[in-house]
């Protein structure tokens, strides 16, 4: 297990119980781990969407949600919120020591 996998596991564990990550999302959570390291508690909904888009483009490049964040309907934008909150929670725990 790499350091990114460890961070990915922390993010996954910080998700609320009602969050439903996509199947086979290990690579997606590694991207979220990169966001944790680069953006920390400043991560945004758009950041998480960009990571999801990069991940999704590998197997479904024509998915209708692979557009810039601001072009998404608000309800679709909000689907990224649990991941933003999980990344921020892990970042805050780390900064608190």
Provide the token pair at 30: 């590694």
What confidence score (pLDDT) does residue 97 get? 76
Mean pLDDT on 8-27: 96
Q: Given a cut of 90, is residue 52 above it in pLDDT?
A: yes
Helix axes 81-96, 3-14, angle to 10 degrees: 110
Over residues 62-86, the pLDDT tens digits come to 999 999 999 999 999 999 999 999 9
**Structural domain span for residue 68:** 3-96
Beta carbons within 10 angstroms of residue 69's beta carbon: 18
What is the Cα–Cα distance from 67 to 65, expressed in whole angstroms? 5
Tally the domains of the chain: 1
Share of the chain above pLDDT 70, in %: 100
Q: Given a cut of 80, is residue 20 above it in pLDDT?
A: yes
Average pLDDT, the chain: 97
Answer whether 35's CB lies under 8 Å from 44's CB. Answer: no
């Amino acid at each position: 297990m790499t350091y990114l996998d460890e961070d990915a596991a922390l993010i996954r564990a910080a998700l609320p119980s009602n969050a439903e990550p996509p199947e086979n999302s290990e690579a997606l959570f590694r991207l979220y781990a990169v966001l944790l390291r680069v953006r920390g508690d400043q991560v945004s909904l758009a950041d998480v969407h960009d990571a999801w888009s990069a991940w999704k483009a590998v197997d479904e490049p024509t998915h209708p949600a692979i557009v810039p964040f601001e072009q998404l309907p608000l309800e679709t934008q909000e689907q990224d919120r649990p991941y933003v909150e999980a990344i921020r929670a892990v970042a805050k725990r780390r900064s608190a020591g």
